[in-house]
Structure 1
Amino acid sequence: MANSSWNWRTSSTCDYSSSSSTTVKHHKHYHHHHNHQHDLLIPGLPDHIAQLCLSSINPSLLFKVCHSWRRLIYSPSFPPFFSLYAILSPPKSHHSHSIQFHNFDPISNTWKILPPPPPLHHILLHHPSFLSRNLSVQSISVSDNLILLAATTHNLTPALSHPLIFNPSQGWSVGPALTNPRRWCALGTSEGMVYVASGIGSHFSVDVAKSIEKWDPINDPIWEKKTDMKDGRFSREAVDAVGWRGKLYMVNVKGDAAKEGVVYDVEEDTWKEMPEGMLLGFRGPVAAMEEEVMYVVDEAKGILSRYNSEDDIWEKIFESQRLKGAEQMVAKQGRICVVSTAGISVVDVVAVPPRISVVELPEGFEAVAVHVLPRMPVTE
């Protein structure tokens, strides 16, 4: 399990200056006679015992102390801390694919480009026919994997016939062929399963627009068809299917436009209407923390709210100019990571009051989507 004590902007420091001069002299004398101790994580302790002691400490503190501890936190045997995995759009002058995959390490505060994925069609983010509209790239994270599932090519057709899967420890792989490759669909996950609903294939089809399929990325090599939606109104725009308490919640358009909301019960394989108060609050990207607490960012006002299911209302918890124009968000371990026109912001909703920090993007790049997964191992 990934280390839960992850920070994006670390202010804590280690202070070892309180040792007395006598203690310092003692250590110098000790190391003079026992040079092999230099290679130990903690002098006087076997490494396996030292690692047990160090694994309970915030990795951001260990990183600052010494090179041996820095190497430890990136080793396969150390509990991996969480980091950001982002889909970024390169500078306009870049002539290759219109997206790249990057990892942001919050401990070293550095970006690293991921290994290239399997060959992709050229993915388009903008089209001359839709100057005011972004063409979506749809991805999710589930079971410590980043999954890219839907995007658009230059001729406005689905870019992916198979899901592309990135695992921080194993790299890229290809998932089972989609029954109907699509774009502008509803994509989400619940209880470790991946669901894709509605959308448009190479041409509009009522059957595709009403369909929903399920895939178990760990155990199942095929997509399983589930009960159809009642109509094809969810093929108008790419939306999230938010997994919350055993159900998937989705609306058919984003922002303040009049919309329809539906709920898919993953156990009963049935469709229901969305509660009225919940539907009214879907005014931007929505995400559920560990599928237990649902959050929304009002893309027009930059307000982060939490859903109160007992009263069917959204309760404001934080507001920031940086959250205006919110396009995508994820929730993990007490943090809300938001992609907006301002870039990537991280809100610590556990803190009182909530705190926001900024993740600086590589120069010239724009964020398309962000996910939270365990850090990548470092090979020396």
Structure 2
Amino acid sequence: MANPVTTTESSSSANKRRKLHRLFLRHQNQHHNHYHNQNQNQSDNANHEPLIPGLPDHIAQLCLSQVQNPTTLFSVCHSWRRLLYSPSFTPFLSLYALLSPQSQSSTCEFFSFDPISSNWLRLPPPPLPHRHLLLHHHPSFLSWNFPIQSVSAAGKLILLAATTPQLLPALPFPLVFDPISLNWSSGPPLSAPRRWCAAGAVSGSVYVASGVGSHYQIDVARSVEKWDLTQIKTQQYWTKLGCLKDGKLCREAVDGVGWRGKLCMVMVKGDATKGGVVYDVERDVWEEMKEGMIGGWRGPVAAMDEQVIYCVDQVKGVVRKYREESDSWEEIVRSVRLKGAEQMAAGGGRLCMVAGGGKEIVVVDVVAVRPRLWVVDLPVGFEAVAVHVLPRMPHPPAITSSSSSALS
């Protein structure tokens, strides 16, 4: 029979040996991990490519941010390419577009064209159920396009009005997309949901005038409301402004053009006889548009930095600039591609126009010594409804390029 005291002592010695062995292995692993991490850090530091050799990265970034054309940075090296899309680098401007599928049954989608990589990026869809209400082609009215009204203000894209298949206002409140955070949010509810209204932006505020709700109402047709996006965190409401003298603006969707503290609107498109109004933001007063201005308003209009108004003559394919001192329009560039232009946005010295029956987007550089023109091809299977110019998006993994499209 074994001695129990001896067995206990042997077992205790074995446990001590196993414990010491485990401590030795743990120490050995810690020693190995320390040197591995040290070597890894040294390797990372060795592989780190400075933005500009000899300069700290924060100083180099200040230097590179002064380059006016970021395209030149994209093709130099990977570190400069990564810098372009980093949160710390000043966002360059990109083209944003509301595109309608050529298949008549689908709703519209938002895309962004990155001028650096020449790729179309699909935006995250608006929240449900509103994404299914962006109807451009109605199944019962195939020959008639329904307007979807959107504006850009304070660096954001704001979706304001659309029509449901039941011919009712689709949006009770604006939907706001922030290109930097890649998020959609809801704005304050309108006093009355509407469609076929006049919509525009001045100095970071969005304006909605007139429109039709579920049926015609004179108080809605004459109403004017303002939402200040520069106070978006504190001011979540629409402010009612001075009413229009009549409800004529509710007849169709009207683009309001922000220009030198005023909102300019023309009620009829094309060469037909028009009526034009100008709203003075500071004085809250409506005025008649000058004869020269309204006389040259013969197509889509946009204002560069809310200072210079440009118009495209839809019939002649001519871009003109408005001269306030002489109340006249000066021709800038002429092209057959601009005939029939439907909508326009301005930013960064360029005009971006929906043309060719929505099949292409034409870009005109109006600040060049000799204005130049080129075309941006659309993703396959889509046609353009509206365009905007806003800060670029970062390149998130969740957003995939639809179809690579180079500037021609």
TM range (shorter): 0.7 to 0.9
Partner of 1:106: 115
How far 1:225 sits from its partner (Å)?
A: 0.7
Taking the aligned partners of 1:43 and 1:258, their CA distance within structure 2 comes to: 63
Taking the aligned partners of 1:109 and 1:99, their CA distance within structure 2 comes to: 22
Letter of the 1:354 partner, please give it: P
Taking the aligned partners of 1:326 and 1:353, their CA distance within structure 2 comes to: 21
TM-score, structure 1 as length reference: 0.87
Taking the aligned partners of 1:291 and 1:321, their CA distance within structure 2 comes to: 27
Partner of 1:347: 364
Within-5 A mapping of 1:225-374: 225-340=240-355, 341=357, 342-374=359-391
1:117 is the counterpart of 2:126: yes
Structure 1 pair 65–234 and aligned structure 2 pair: CA distance change class (3 A): same
Taking the aligned partners of 1:332 and 1:43, their CA distance within structure 2 comes to: 34
Does the CA-based 8 Å contact 1:85-1:372 persist in structure 2? Answer: yes
How far 1:304 sits from its partner (Å)?
A: 0.6
Structure 1 pair 44–133 and aligned structure 2 pair: CA distance change class (3 A): same
Does the CA-based 8 Å contact 1:37-1:44 persist in structure 2? Answer: no
Partner of 1:180: 192
Does the CA-based 8 Å contact 2:93-2:348 persist in structure 1? Answer: no
How far 1:56 sits from its partner (Å)?
A: 2.1
Within-5 A mapping of 1:9-158: 36=46, 38-57=48-67, 58-92=69-103, 95-96=105-106, 98-119=107-128, 120=130, 121-127=132-138, 130-158=141-169
Taking the aligned partners of 2:118 and 2:344, their CA distance within structure 1 comes to: 20
Taking the aligned partners of 1:61 and 1:351, their CA distance within structure 2 comes to: 17
Structure 1 gaps of 5+ residues are: 1-32
3-state SS of 1:133 partner: coil
Deviates most, 185-194 or 47-56: 47-56
Structure 2 gaps of 5+ residues are: 1-42, 398-408
3-state SS of 1:325 partner: coil
Q: Which one of 202, 205, 211 corresponds to residue 223 of structure 2?
A: 211
Q: Which runs of 4+ in 1 moved over 6 A?
A: none
Name the structure with the higher helix share: 2
Does the CA-based 8 Å contact 1:248-1:265 persist in structure 2? Answer: yes
Taking the aligned partners of 2:64 and 2:274, their CA distance within structure 1 comes to: 51
Taking the aligned partners of 1:165 and 1:62, their CA distance within structure 2 comes to: 31
Deviations 1:95-154 (A, max 9, x none): 54x200111100000011011111214222133664443211111111100000011111
Taking the aligned partners of 2:314 and 2:143, their CA distance within structure 1 comes to: 16
How far 1:38 sits from its partner (Å)?
A: 4.3
Does the CA-based 8 Å contact 1:83-1:103 persist in structure 2? Answer: yes
Larger radius of gyration: 2
Taking the aligned partners of 2:163 and 2:381, their CA distance within structure 1 comes to: 23
How far 1:242 sits from its partner (Å)?
A: 1.1
Partner of 2:37: none
- Aligned Cα root-mean-square deviation (Å): 1.8
Structure 1 pair 91–42 and aligned structure 2 pair: CA distance change class (3 A): same
3-state SS of 1:218 partner: helix
Letter of the 1:80 partner, please give it: P
Structure 1 pair 124–245 and aligned structure 2 pair: CA distance change class (3 A): same
Does the CA-based 8 Å contact 2:361-2:375 persist in structure 1? Answer: yes
Taking the aligned partners of 1:243 and 1:42, their CA distance within structure 2 comes to: 41
Taking the aligned partners of 1:258 and 1:133, their CA distance within structure 2 comes to: 22
Taking the aligned partners of 1:35 and 1:144, their CA distance within structure 2 comes to: 37
3-state SS of 2:230 partner: coil
